[in-house]
Structure 1
Amino acid sequence: MAILKQFGILFVLGSVGIVMSTIASIPLVEQQLAKLSPETLEKVPPLWILMLLQGLQYSILLAISILIGIGCAYRVGLRSHLIDHWVFHIAKSPSFAVEMQWSLGVGVAATIVLLLLDRLMQPVLPEALQASNNTEPNWLSSLTAMLYGGITEEILMRWGLMSLLVWIAWKGLKQGVTLPGQGIYQGAIVLAALVFGLLHLPATAAIVSLTPVVIIRALLLNGIVGIAFGWLFWKYSLEAAMLAHISFHAFSFALSLMLARFV
């Protein structure tokens, strides 16, 4: 029963991001369909089926990640406040307010660092990528980034992948009697952040060819925030990583909006 409760809580949360991501991707899919010849288009399923299949694919990945995290996270000292409260009935941590401050602070710091790094790299980036970076952000894409990135991606990358990496190293190094050493957590944080960066390459490839500079940029920018969110998951909770990720996209949207209008 406890497993079902954990799964239900995280699946409902993650599904919100999947729904938003599916809705936001409809215009892009429509553009891709418009490029097809009439003969090819006749063989393609209707748009609603394509979007349903996309949502189903993401939902399966989400479910697998949740189950992995349920099996690994608490065994290696990683936690979720929602599961603590709603499943295990553990009282709220007295350091919760400090945790939230750290999350918001990391979100702000990550926004500033990545914006500066991206600006510094602009001269060596392809024109198509520069143009996409200089477009004024819209509320739908930003809201999708907050919900899918801030919630769903954190369940996939931190709760699922990072927990699994820590557990594998913990068992492989036969540290099963005590909690994993710092090096195991740190290695898992970096590896999960690297995977996080690699998974962003297909979206970049849809805009521009993947040259070494483009790949380095994607890995660097996404790797930095991935490490920051992983550290928060390790030191505090899954919700701390989620809040930092959400605030990162919220601050990025606000700052990009200001720069687009006043600079």
Structure 2
Amino acid sequence: MADRSRTTADRPRTTGDRPRGWRASVRGATALFVLGTLGVVAVAVDSVPVLRAIPELESLPFLALVLLAAVNSTLLLIVFTTLGSAAAPRIGLTSHVFAWASGGTLDWAALRRSIPLAVVTGASLFAVVAVLDVASAPFVRLPAGEVVADADDLGALAPSIPVRLLYGGITEEILLRWGIMAPIAFVLWRVGRAVGGGTGGGAEAGTETPSAATMWVAILASAVLFGLGHLPVLASSIGLTPALIVRTVLLNAIVGVALGWLFWRRSLETAMVAHAAFHVALLVVGAIAIRLL
């Protein structure tokens, strides 16, 4: 039986709770894509010094370097925004922005009710990850507190703020939760309905939305992918070891599970606020740690 514990008052209001036709879906997907480009631009601008250090690129103008850095992320955003927009509304996963752009009403009241939960969840996740980071330090042979103070000074910490809040808080949620978690849940639900319909039973047989078990599989799968997605950046700055890989995937997966749960129970924007709150807590504690050290 599908889990129905989420309060309907916290879901965006749309006609029939589904976008009205493919044009409405395109409008909703476009709105999320535009929102996601904020993070893409933030990462691209942050990448310019690295690209300019490449001899073949050092003579290119700033704008050309930004566009070059944004190509891959933009393509990924297009793909995953499209996939999520095709899957999420069909299984009851919601976004206030998508609902508004696809012809519904932007439900500010529901979003406001979700903000306290999102902020508390994000700050709590940071506390949990920071503690686990310290506890795992002896096993990964890294200094304790890498999560808290991942910059040498405030001058190095400040430029990361747009990337953390815009790409981490917004774009990653569109990619991972909207673009990966929702399609996984949709595919599992459809397969479950097909199998259940053919055998006369099954958890998904006759259900309009995925069961809780299906949603948890999708949440866990997207959370693990979220953790794996942090390995390339880490590998570019430090040699990876099995212990470091496990630590990185585990810590990020814990965050991903909580964000996926918020997306499922409330909305994509609730997960965005929680993700941003995680980074705000990190920045505040990191700045304090730098001052004290």
TM-score (norm 1): 0.88
What is the distance in 2 between the residues matched to 1:235 and 1:215?
A: 30
What is the distance in 2 between the residues matched to 1:215 and 1:47?
A: 37
CA apart distance, 1:200: 0.6
In the alignment, which residue of structure 2 is the partner of 1:36?
none
Mark the runs of 5 or more structure 1 residues left unpaired by the alignment: 34-40
1:56 to 64, 71, 74: 71
CA apart distance, 1:145: 1.0
Q: 1:42 to 1:244 in 2, by over 3 A?
A: closer
In the alignment, which residue of structure 2 is the partner of 1:141?
160
Q: Quick check: which one's helix share is greater?
A: 1
Contact 1:136/1:256 (<8 A) preserved: no
1:104 to 113, 116, 119: 119
**Counterparts of residues 89-100 of structure 1 (less than 5 Å):** 89-90=104-105, 92=107, 95-100=110-115
Structure 1 residue 153 and structure 2 residue 183: aligned? no
Secondary structure of residue in 2 paired with 1:203: helix
Letter matched to residue 159 of structure 2: L
Q: 1:180 to 1:45 in 2, by over 3 A?
A: farther
Contact 2:224/2:249 (<8 A) preserved: yes
Q: 1:144 to 1:43 in 2, by over 3 A?
A: closer
Q: 1:96 to 1:23 in 2, by over 3 A?
A: closer
What is the distance in 2 between the residues matched to 1:43 and 1:154?
A: 31
Letter matched to residue 232 of structure 2: P
Mark the runs of 5 or more structure 2 residues left unpaired by the alignment: 1-22, 194-203
When the two chains are superposed, the root-mean-square deviation of aligned CA atoms in Å is: 2.4
Q: 1:216 to 1:110 in 2, by over 3 A?
A: same
CA apart distance, 1:127: 4.9
Percent identity of paired positions between Structure 1 and Structure 2:
33
In the alignment, which residue of structure 2 is the partner of 1:37?
none
Letter matched to residue 133 of structure 1: D
How many residue pairs end up in the alignment? 255
Shifted more, 96-105 versus 233-242: the winner is: 96-105
Letter matched to residue 264 of structure 2: W
1:20 to 17, 37, 42: 42
Contact 2:33/2:77 (<8 A) preserved: yes
CA apart distance, 1:45: 8.6
What is the distance in 1 between the residues matched to 2:66 and 2:116?
A: 38
Contact 2:130/2:145 (<8 A) preserved: no
In the alignment, which residue of structure 2 is the partner of 1:8?
30
2:239 to 185, 209, 219: 209
**Counterparts of residues 150-189 of structure 1 (less than 5 Å):** 150-174=169-193, 175=204, 177-189=207-219
**Counterparts of residues 26-65 of structure 1 (less than 5 Å):** 26-31=48-53, 33=54, 41-42=55-56, 46=60, 49=64, 51-65=66-80
Q: 1:101 to 1:128 in 2, by over 3 A?
A: closer
Shifted more, 122-131 versus 143-152: the winner is: 122-131
What is the distance in 2 between the residues matched to 1:199 and 1:205?
A: 11
Letter matched to residue 152 of structure 2: T
Q: 1:145 to 1:207 in 2, by over 3 A?
A: same
In the alignment, which residue of structure 1 is the partner of 2:283?
253
TM-score (norm 2): 0.80
CA apart distance, 1:90: 3.6
In the alignment, which residue of structure 1 is the partner of 2:139?
124
